[in-house]
Structure formats: structure tokens, C-alpha cells
Amino acid sequence: MRLVVDTATWTQAPQAWRDLWWLVTAPRFWPWDLEADAGVFGHRLWSPKQDAVVQDWLLAQARAPGALLSAVNRMASPEQPDTDYLSVAQPLRLGRLAEALFGFFIQHSPAVQWLASGVPVFEQPSPGVNGRQQRGELDALWRDDTGHLVHAELAVKFYALAHPSTPAGQAIGPDGVENWQHKLDKLCHRQLQHPLPVPWDQAPVKRLAHVRGRWFLPGDDAVATDWRQRAPDTERFGPRLSRAQLASRPFPLGCRVRFLRRLEWLGPVAQTTDAALVAPNAQGLLDVPRLVAEAPVHSHERVQMLGVFAPDASGVWLEQWRAWIDPERPAEPTIAA
């Protein structure tokens, strides 16, 4: 699926709209063949014959983004719904931002007939036990344009290969703990297996995993090169670099870079000024200490996402690609014999 947006609309819309566009139109997260469970990743949110009407609806949100911003701001700050979600004291978690954007789409777009979101699923009560224990929830239920019931689970994930020989299923997340195989198993064998509650319990249902995100691959690894050749797009791929690799890697002289805030990890970022952007020196190298000093406020022990920007004809700085920058970790202490 490839909808089209013109440059002026893309640059003039708020970041929440670019995130919405990316969340519903970006290529699926898993670009390679899955021998098992491939079907749940192959489903579209809407049928191909609805492409034009969905594109028109999305472009209408760019021209008049008030309802979208209001929906996201209410989730970020219910007490102050008119407060920009990017400026609240306790920033919205990235997963909650994705939920807000996805919820806005399925509830208001012409693509689906929305039924419910966050539907709790309970265990059957055991004999002699009062009350029911919740076993999970269904992210979203809707009917498609043919009237079929759809159960969808949403996930936005970022994973990196730790070493050239690391299997894709063992790619790690930014916390250094979660890996893709665990998430894949959870999606396919638990979240998408929940029984539907009344009144949908007897209806045939299509299960859909709407997973979006990016993979970050060791820069000079042959495996990474092979993967890029099979799916050479910057919407799903980027290099994984250490701070030392970042300092020694030459960048185009016309570009600017900065670390992205966590809430900017979804869609490609655009900014109208060069605020906070750092230019490479005459040799194309970056001042990494300056980048770190100007990084958004959060622990530098966590992964940083570096955005690489170039100006368009109107002077707007558009993100071209991004890189996963490993945290700076102290060396392990040496124990004397």
C-alpha cells in the first residue's frame, strides 16, 4: 500500500499527523517471509478499493488537524486537554501515543466500522471462586467494508541486531531485554488467541497484527547488507552505531543531525527551523559531545535515536533517515587475580 502526499502538506502538518500517516501507511514491520503465522501480518487495515477515500480523509486531517490534536492531547493530559502533548510535564509514553493515533483512525476514518477498543477478556470463573480474573484485552474490534468482524492488535517496536550472527528473532529492544521472538510469540499465541466476549463470541473473526517500527542493523555486516537489498527502505531500516562509530562516520556536509525525543520515534520528523540541529565539520564528522549535551532530557544509559535531516526547497528540515546509537556504558571492572 502506498498512498501519496505532497511535500507542502507533509511539511505544514503537525508532527502528530505525520505520525498518524506513518502508523497506518508504513510498510509492515516484518518484511521477510514467515513460515508460520505470516497471515496475521499480511492483512491490510482497509481493502484496496478504499485507498482513494482513505487518502482523501488523511489529507483532510492534515488541512484541519484540530480533532486529531485534541484526541491526542486529551490522552496525554486529561486535566488540560488543550495542552500540546509534546510539552506536558510527564510526557506521554510512546505506546500510548500510538494507541491514541490508531484509535483516532479506526474511530473516525471511513476505512472501517469501529465497534470497540480495549475490550477486557476474563478467565472463566473457577468453582468456589468469587469474581473473574482479567486475562487480557482486545486492542480493537471493527467490521470491514464487507461486514466481516476484525480483531486487531497494535504494536510499535524498535529492534536491533546485537551482533552480525544474531538471528532476527533474538534482536533486542531499546531496554536491552525484550526481543522480537518473545513479542512475536506473545502476539500470535496469546493476544491474537483471546476468545471474543459477548456479543461477538459466536461470530467468525479475522485476526490482524498491525505492527510497525524499525530494525537497526550492524552497519558493515554482510547479513545487514543482504537484508537491505531485499527490503531497501529507510522506513524500516537504519544502522546501529556505537558513540565511537558515530564520531568516526562521515556525514554529508549539507545535512544536520540531532537526537530525537522519544515521542518523535514514530513517523519521520520535520522542523521549520534549524533549532537544535548540529552540522558536521569540514571533514563531515560530528561533534558527538555537543550532540550528547544537547540531547533531550532522559537517561543517556538508554538508546538514543539520531535523526539525520536535509532541507527541502522551502527551507524546512526533513528527516532523511535515523540511526540507533548505543548507550555509553562504563567498562566492566577488572578483578585482580
User: Residue 258: inside a domain, yes or no?
Assistant: yes
| CA dist 217 → 110, 163, 234, 321 (Å) | 37, 9, 12, 13
User: Residue 246: inside a domain, yes or no?
Assistant: yes
Three-state SS for 82?
coil
Instruction: Report pLDDT digits (tens) over 87-122.
Output: 776 777 899 999 999 999 999 999 999 999 999 888
User: Residue 8: inside a domain, yes or no?
Assistant: no
Domain that holds residue 270: 242-328
Answer yes or no: are the C-beta atoms of 95 and 156 closer than 8 Å.
yes
Answer yes or no: are the C-beta atoms of 155 and 187 closer than 8 Å.
yes
pTM of the model: 0.88
Reference 327, options 175, 172, 170; nearest CA is 175
Q: Residue 41: its pLDDT value, please?
A: 72
User: Residue 306: inside a domain, yes or no?
Assistant: yes
Cell numbers for 118? 480495549
CB-based contacts of 84, cutoff 8 Å, min separation 6: 69, 73
Answer yes or no: are the C-beta atoms of 306 and 295 closer than 8 Å.
no
- The label of the residue with cell 544536520 reads 256
Helix axes of 15-25 and 51-63: crossing angle, nearest 10 degrees: 170
Q: Residue 125: its pLDDT value, please?
A: 62
Q: Residue 336: its pLDDT value, please?
A: 39
How many domains would you assign to the chain? 1
CA 88 to CA 76: how far, in whole Å? 8
User: Residue 312: inside a domain, yes or no?
Assistant: yes
Cell numbers for 25? 501507511
How many H helices and E strands in the chain?
Answer: 10, 9
- Which of 30-39, 50-59, 168-177 is modeled with the greatest confidence? 50-59
User: Residue 167: inside a domain, yes or no?
Assistant: no
User: Residue 311: inside a domain, yes or no?
Assistant: yes
Cα pseudo-dihedral 129, 134, 135, 139, rounded to 10: 160
User: Residue 206: inside a domain, yes or no?
Assistant: no
Question: For residue 266, is pLDDT > 50?
Answer: yes
